[in-house]
Structure 1
């Protein structure tokens, strides 16, 4: 199954394959080594033993877009038309900043919480808690720092 995403103005439609786990989308292709390091960090269990159930997707149609432009490509389709409440994006901001904060895009059609950023080592906490409905996106978004990055509780 494929979800067609609403593209930015003057862009071709973006297609996201249906994934079994929460997608981590690569939207910046400037640093292959950095992408591999981020993948390793996201896949590594936390000190408590929690692992993120994610699936990595490369999408060149998002190259050059960051933040709100990327978030605007994705419809609020969870839970009726999409199985995941969020997706994570590795964009130019992620690659360029020292902490490598990923974009967290809220896909919940019943929640108007906007996107925010998170450290790679917090993907596990976000994915795990959302997947079991222990927390919602707003709880993580409210816990971001002044710079809009979630670094943990």
Structure 2
């Protein structure tokens, strides 16, 4: 048994659980692709998906990898770094997901799809992002206080 696991790890590069999770992800992605195959806007969705992959790999990844490297060099200790990373990631993820609403774009498409007027999201996104950083700051201060006390 251990020999089979060792051969799988040598051939595949990871363990059996990783392979199973990856196969499950491919199954879900295939199901979504089959569901979208009958949609009228499938080519537009495919173009958006390919564009998102290209923009992420060629633009966004180098930007946030560089920002992380700068943050690592600026912080002497690693502890506060995650208290900046986590709220920044949450804020960036919300920004990307709600980008058209935050920038005030796509109002007619939103209204035709939902039958509702688009709500202004910029103020809400800013408030939510500020709350992410505030909670992270409070957690960091509490951890420092508890560590200094003991």
TM-score bin, normalised by smaller chain: under 0.3
Structure (1 or 2) with the larger CA radius of gyration: 2
Which structure exhibits the higher relative contact order, with contacts defined as CA atoms closer than 8 Å and separated by 6 or more residues?
1
TM-score normalized with structure 2 length:
0.23
Structure in which a larger fraction of residues adopt helix: 2
Compare the two structures and name the one with the higher strand fraction. 1
